[in-house]
Amino acid sequence: MAKRTMTNIEKVTHIMTYSNYGALAQLFVMDALHQWSGIISKASPQQVDNGFINGEAWISVAGEIHKALQSELTINDFEYDETNAASVSRIPLPPDVDGINEDRAQWAKSALRAFMDCTGVDYEDALPDLLADLMHLADREPFDFEAALDRARDHYAAETGAAP
């Protein structure tokens, strides 16, 4: 499979998600954004105009970012909906043979959130829509979706102790 350079969004997401320093990396990125946007938003257009980026535009975007970081931004999040929180927390989990099924679930959640961010689909429809889109991908790439799904079921069975 060919490799490509990450987009800026993918790069920042990767840094904040997979750093060896965990949440400290997230804090660093947020602090850097806060500090740099604060510095730029107070600069004069002549100080930041470099012939490629208009100084006034750069200052405006810095101000917008600085203001957003100072406010409490919220999103609609089905996962944390109080009416669903109680029912989700009561779902019994299958055995965790090697002790990393919580990690596996978090990796899958990261993928699902990235899909939701890209498509705008809501939480309730995200999993079936992602699966359908993976089927479309399998139509276009050398993947056998049904074989992959069978293999995934085998992996899940092994990871939860349900394998024969």
What is the domain partition of the chain in residue ranges?
8-70, 78-159
Query: Is-contact 31 16, C-beta < 8 A?
Result: no
Q: Is the pLDDT of residue 141 over 90?
A: yes
pLDDT at 23: 86
Residues 128-133: what's their mean pLDDT? 94
- Who wins on pLDDT, 114 or 163? 114
Residues 23-37: what's their mean pLDDT? 91
What CA–CA distances, in Å, run from 138 to 141, 148, 157? 5, 10, 23
Query: Is-contact 115 130, C-beta < 8 A?
Result: yes
Read off the pTM: 0.49
Query: Is-contact 44 25, C-beta < 8 A?
Result: no
pLDDT at 19: 86
pLDDT at 70: 85
pLDDT at 84: 55
Lowest mean pLDDT among 7-21, 26-40, 136-150: 7-21
